[in-house]
Chain A
Amino acid sequence: MYEILKKEMLTPTICRMKLSAPRLAAAARPGQFLIVRADEKGERIPLTISDYDAQAGTVTIVTQKIGASSADIIAYEEGEAFADVVGPLGLPSEFVEMAPEKLAGQRYILIAGGVGTAPVYPQAKWLKEHGIPVDVIIGAKTRDLLIYVEEMRGVCDNLFICTDDGSEGFKGMGTHMLEHVVSEGHQYTQAVIIGPMIMMKFTTLTCRKLGIPATVSLNTLMVDGTGMCGACRVSVGGKTRFACVEGPEFDGYEVDFDEAMRRQGQYKAEEAEANEKHVCKIGRGK
């Protein structure tokens, strides 16, 4: 069992949990993810790792309530435990294993959308710790949905905030923010984009327009997360790749986002049915 050591609601629907998972914490690197199965009857849910502490043996996850399964995860309280937490899964971000001399010349812009802000944090933190210039854009629909603003400020050189409705920071989407930042003279050798599939698609287009190479982190469907099921397959540069073991990060220019979005919705009908039948487990009195 994997105990929840700390739980806090970052917004009414986004929850941050610190879990005890010593083996996982010791092995985690930026860019990797994990899988949680809340209880015996739960799904295996892939979630991004938003922080890890090898010494304390903890990992932090950030979950947004979307369907029945994510609602179940959020319903857990401090002191309770998940049946299963496994990882780290996927490959670490490219910069983690980059030769130092190549890394030294890089200037990163990390672009986060919504709950995708959480996995951007360990990437910014790693780059900052290694002395690599890194700026961050956080975009959200509205001010109340912004997360990780203070945490991020501590791990990047420049933090740019934008909201669709202008309730905080720049008014507009991440794509507009990026164009604005670049027009002000900021220069980048590499962008990393993490957020909803549609946001990654359009931000990649903007990066292409601006001539910035773009890495995206794909949150595809998965069952095992170890290369066994193939539910996560995506077309990258015309080739089928497994996001769980060959990703989750790919060259955004090469990703077939339309196919990826369509495949993400593969179990929508079944999920809608499950949501209807779903009995909320809050106060399930274990």
Chain B
Amino acid sequence: MPNKIPRVPVREQDPLVRAKNFEEVCYGYNAEEAQLEASRCLHCKNPRCVGACPVSIKIPEFIGKVLAGDFRGAAGVIAEDSSLPAVCGRVCPQESQCEGSCILGIKGEPVAIGKLERFVADWSHANGGSGAAVPAPNGHKVAVVGSGPAGLACASDLAKWGYSVTIFEALHKAGGVLEYGIPEFRLPKEKVLAKELEEVKRLGVKIETNVIIGRTVTIDELMDKEGFEAVFIGSGAGLPKFMGIPGENLNGVFSANEFLTRNNLMKAFREDYLTPIHAGKKVCVVGGGNVAMDAARTALRLGAEVHVVYRRTEVELPARVEEVHHAKEEGIVFDMLTNPVEVLGDEKGWVRALKCVRMQLGEPDESGRRSPVAIPGSEFEIPTETVIMALGTSPNPLISKTTAGLDVTRRGCLVADETGATTRRGVFAGGDAVTGAATVILAMGAGRTAAKAIDEYIKK
């Protein structure tokens, strides 16, 4: 009986060692481990895992090929539905998607689908890529705004169907949040991300960096002057939120975006790169999502003592369980039911402490989570040198403000229907630009959906 085999554990870097470096935390499976884990799959007739995957990867099929030792074949199966398997194998919330719906998970541990996907993708990159055929051009031009997960997924699908696709990226490097947001220790840039981008380019996708749509060139110009028949906007949710409490503009208060961009995109952790970063001896990270974990673990690696300050309890932490677990292993302190009310500064205008109030959980709110309520008179100070605000992000208004006919919601998100069509003909959108901050894989799913709609729109 295959399901008698326990889930094959994955090797990881020792927590105390990795707390001091930026090397990848998880080593992933080797071929032997992957095949053993693959043998656990029951090959359900109606695989629930596929339905739970936002890009519908044919999971049992690729796992079957892993078991048979046909790793290239497995890569081919995944490539039909995902252009970023090495990324998704690492950063997807599998526990609430594919693995969360695995039958084996009812009584025991689900198949480690994410780790298997990662193994196949890494094997493929190390062995010459998927080798998928480059399609013949169909003569149609599509522009994609943003080279993050949504844009890359959309561009890959369109390129596979023969479209001439150009991605416009505002930063100097492609990848969007995968490059500037997610740290090296979760997603190595050269070893993993660069390889996936190479695969996308191999399909014929052009990536033009240093072009800010809405400033360098507008959507109208792309369509009217440069001959793009359709545009997909996958510009993400890039604007950081702050709390609006006193003292937020003191020196030593940073958005998680700034802190992570300095470290990831600009490689401030490396001595030979010029961009500075400031962590200091003690850092408080405010927030409880994956970005908060990334910021906290980055600050830790830069040598700081790190506290995560969150207003609800650990149960409500929006971050992935694995990330919270890793953060704790590495020595990050979690101050739960704690809400900042003011950042206190010294006489030179630098942070000296975070003034907080103790919280308790009240009635469930609209989201179903119990809403935190401040306990009167419970104010206290956490001495700290640095405060990092990881409170979420909202879409950048640059494009909506410079494109006529593009409606936005009250929260600044682009209005798009279920196919990704916006209120402007020929313009489609998906990912965080439409939903507000969400996950890599949901953005990829939206990119793929929009690619289908763009194909239908142009062929009509």
A residues adjacent to B (C-beta < 8 A):
23-24, 27, 37, 41-44, 68-69, 72, 83-89, 223-224, 226-231, 233-235, 240, 245, 259, 262-263, 265-267, 269-271, 274, 277
Instruction: Say if the beta carbon of B239 comes within 8 Å of chain A.
Output: yes
Main secondary structure of the interface of A (DSSP, over half): mixed
Contact A226-B212, Cβ < 8 Å, known A37-B172, A43-B266, A259-B249: yes
Q: Which one, A83, A234, A240, contacts B242 given CB within 8 A?
A: A240
Please, which residues of chain A bring their CB within 8 A of the CB of B211? 23, 86
Q: Are A228 and B262 in contact (CB under 8 A)?
A: no
Q: A229-B262, A240-B242 are in contact. List 13 more A-B contacts (CB 8 A).
A: A37-B172, A42-B274, A85-B210, A86-B171, A86-B210, A88-B215, A89-B215, A226-B398, A227-B239, A229-B240, A230-B254, A245-B398, A270-B276
Q: Are B276 and A224 in contact (CB under 8 A)?
A: no
Q: Are B261 and A223 in contact (CB under 8 A)?
A: yes
Please, which residues of chain A bring their CB within 8 A of the CB of B257? 228-230
CB distance from B279 to the nearest CB of A (A): 10
Q: Which one, A87, A88, A227, A265, contacts B398 given CB within 8 A?
A: A227
Sample 11 A-B pairs with CB under 8 A, ordered by A number.
A23-B217, A44-B172, A87-B216, A224-B261, A228-B239, A228-B257, A230-B254, A240-B249, A259-B249, A263-B249, A266-B278
**Which of chain A's residues has its CB closest to B172's CB?**
A84
Instruction: Say if the beta carbon of B330 comes within 8 Å of chain A.
Output: no
Q: Which of B170, B257, B258, B265 has the most CB of A within 10 A?
A: B258
Please, which residues of chain B bring their CB within 8 A of the CB of A235? 249
Number of interface residues of B (CB under 8 A): 40
Contact A267-B278, Cβ < 8 Å, known A227-B396, A228-B396: yes
**Which of chain B's residues has its CB closest to A261's CB?**
B349
CA distance A262 to B262 in the complex (A): 20
B residues adjacent to A (C-beta < 8 A):
170-172, 180, 209-212, 215-217, 238-240, 242, 248-249, 251-252, 254-255, 257-258, 261-262, 265-267, 271-278, 348-349, 396, 398
Main secondary structure of the interface of B (DSSP, over half): loop
Please, which residues of chain B bring their CB within 8 A of the CB of A240? 242, 248-249
Q: Are A229 and B215 in contact (CB under 8 A)?
A: no
Please, which residues of chain A bring their CB within 8 A of the CB of B255? 229-230
CA distance A21 to B160 in the complex (A): 31
CB distance from B28 to the nearest CB of A (A): 28
Q: Are B274 and A68 in contact (CB under 8 A)?
A: yes
**Which of chain B's residues has its CB closest to A235's CB?**
B249
Q: Are B216 and A86 in contact (CB under 8 A)?
A: yes
Q: Which one, B210, B217, B261, B277, contacts A228 given CB within 8 A?
A: B261
CA distance A231 to B252 in the complex (A): 10
Q: Which one, B170, B242, B274, contacts A230 given CB within 8 A?
A: B242
Q: Which one, B251, B273, B275, contacts A263 given CB within 8 A?
A: B251
